[in-house]
Amino acid sequence: MAASQGGNRMTDSIVNTFLELAPWFLVGMLISGALHVLLPRDFIKRQLRGRFGVAKAVALGVPLPLCSCGVIPAGIGLKREGAGNGPSLGFLISTPQTGVDSILVSASFLGWPFALFKVVAAVATGLIGGWISDRVPDTDPQERDLGTASAEDEERGFKAFVTHSNDLLASIWRWLVFGVLVSAAINAFLPDGTLSVFAELGPFAAGLAVLVVSLPLYVCATASVPIAAAMVANGLPVGAALVFLMAGPATNVATIGAIYRGFGARQLAVYLGVLIVGSLGFGVLFDLGINPIGESSHVHGEPHRGWWEIGSAILLAGLIFRLALADASRFFRARNLSHDAAGALEIPIVDMSCDGCIGKIEKALLAVDGVVTAVVTRNPDRAVVQGDAAMDQLDQAICDAGYHTELPA
């Protein structure tokens, strides 16, 4: 009986969380697609030079719905295009913490005061990190070219709008599902008030404890919001939840390694130092000064069940199901292909930062004359191609899509 009740609570919590999240996430997808179509392709890179480069980089990066997986090649690519360390690092610090989708979802779950404060924190840490970075002596890291814009990136119009919006969802849908499930599990199975023990530690100690968990962990800025909201509802101080939402999306093992390779140890120290001090500082500030008037009724209240929420949830669930089917099909096709098969070639690929990259590379490979089947996988990052196309043609197609191969010399 207890297990049945727990299962029912879990199901109800999944439905409620998804109803709350879906409308605002879809709005964020639409805004992201519109920005991609309306802004000139080189607009961002042209603005990241000169006296106010750091401020421009942060202002342009904050609304972009890029998690750390997508911001790595974008930020390091800016440096490769001539932007200074300061603008590039400021972009890398501020962008993964927030975005139009994350802002809207945060407001829905935790209230507008919290969402706006999170934006202020992202802007401030990005500016401070960028300004410090500009004053730190540069090193000579072994940088690697992370690719250039592909021909597809130059497209404009409705097709590019839809493609970019879909790529956003493709890159994080697993983390979105993970966030909803973890949030539901916390609501369903964790006894009420369990996390209130963190409140007894005080704002700084609670934030520090959450920070230790957040630093190596990859969590998407949007998908982590339901988890944070569930923890707040269970007693976690809101300031500690802010630490989780600032440090989690911006730091993980992959990001740390990429920044070290692209910028060097000194700039990595600036990056981590600003995020650690900044997230703790803003978390304590929120708990001491703003939280009493900023807590949202959405944390404890019943979610809305209007047509807008239900329709959005059905649409988002359908899009995720479509992506899941495509991934399952890709998995089984990859298993049926191997380098031992007649005419099959296995090509290691670098620079793949998220699942959204898979479709771009497969599309580029399938456009090569002689390619019968092309399957791109993550972990290992590779393309398995069947057909009679020459290796140099396949290598060029991957490079034209904005990625690189690791073929033996």
Torsion of CA 299, 279, 281, 59, to 10 degrees: -100
Instruction: Please state, in angstroms and rounded to a whole number, the distance separating the CA atoms of residues 104 and 115.
Output: 8
- What pLDDT, on the 0 to 100 scale, is given for residue 305? 66
pLDDT, mean of residues 345-368: 79
What's the mean per-residue pLDDT of the chain? 77
pLDDT at 131 over 80: yes
- What is the 8-class DSSP label of residue 143? -
Residue 281's pLDDT is what?
Answer: 93
Q: Is the per-residue pLDDT at 238 higher than 60?
A: yes
Query: Model confidence at 37, in pLDDT bands (50, 70, 90)?
Result: confident
In this predicted structure, what is the pLDDT of residue 300?
A: 44
Instruction: Kindly list the strands in the beta sheet with 404-405, ordered across the sheet, starting from the edge strand earlier in the chain.
Output: 371-377, 382-387, 344-350, 404-405
Instruction: Provide the percentage of residues in the chain whose pLDDT is more than 70.
Output: 73
Mean pLDDT over 280-295 rounds to: 75
Provide the pLDDT confidence category of residue 153 given band limits of 50, 70 and 90.
very low
Q: What is the pLDDT of residue 74?
A: 65
The residue count for the chain: 409
Determine the average pLDDT of the residues in 163-177. 75
Alpha carbon distance 242, 206 (integer Å):
11
Section 319-323 average pLDDT: 91
**pTM, full prediction:** 0.64
Q: Lowest-confidence range among 180-189, 337-346, 374-383?
A: 337-346
Task: Give the residue from 352, 349, 348, 338 showing the smallest Cα distance to 386.
Answer: 338
The answer, yes or no, to whether residue 294 has pLDDT greater than 80, is no
| Residue-wise DSSP of 316-358 | HHHHHHHHHHHHHHHHHHHHH--TTSTTEEEEEEE---STHHH
Q: Could you state, in order of their start, the residue ranges of all structural domains in the chain?
A: 2-318, 337-405
SS3 387: strand
Q: What pLDDT is stored for residue 69 in this prediction?
A: 54
Helix (H, G, I), strand (E, B) or coil at 227: helix
Confidence of residue 277 (pLDDT cuts 50, 70, 90): very high
Handedness of CA 274, 277, 279, 284 (dihedral sign): negative
Residue 50 has pLDDT above 90, yes or no: no
- The CATH number corresponding to 337-405 among 3.40.50.1980, 3.40.50.20, 1.10.10.10, 3.30.70.100 equals 3.30.70.100
Name the strand (E) or helix (H) holding 8. Answer: helix 2-38
Half-sphere exposure of 207 (CA within 13 A, CB side): 25
What's the pLDDT tens digit per position in 178-191?
Answer: 777 877 787 778 77
Look at the block and give the residue holding tokens 């890179």. 45
Phi, psi angle pair for 362, to nearest 5°? -60, -40
